[in-house]
Amino acid sequence: MAKKRYRPITIPEKVNVTLSDSKLKVQGPLGTLEMVVSNKVEVEIKEHKVFVKNRDTSKESAAHQGTTRSLISNLINGVTKGYEKTLIIEGTGYRAQMSGKGLQLFLGYAKPLTINLPKEITCELKVVKSAEKGDLTYITLKGISKQLVGDVAAHIKKARIPDPYKHKGVRYSDEVLRKKVGKRAVVQA
Query: Could you read off the pLDDT of 97-138 as tens digits, one per residue?
Result: 998 878 999 999 999 999 999 999 999 999 888 766 678 899
Is residue 187 included in any domain, yes or no? no
Is residue 189 included in any domain, yes or no? no
The CATH number that applies at residue 53 is 3.90.930.12
Q: Is 121 exposed, middle or buried (0-12, 13-18, 19+ CB in 10 A)?
A: buried
Whether the pLDDT of residue 183 is over 90: the answer is no
Domain boundary among 46, 80, 114: 80
Question: How far apart are the C-alpha atoms of 48 and 11, rounded to whole Å?
Answer: 5
Q: What share of the chain is helix, strand, coil (3-state, %, to 5)?
A: 20, 40, 40
Instruction: Write out the residue range of the structural domain in which residue 96 sits.
Output: 83-172
Q: Structural domain tally of the chain?
A: 2
Q: Looking at the whole model, is its pTM more than 0.75?
A: yes
Domain boundary among 80, 96, 112: 80
In this prediction, residue 93 carries a pLDDT of: 87
Query: Does 41 share its domain with 92?
Result: no
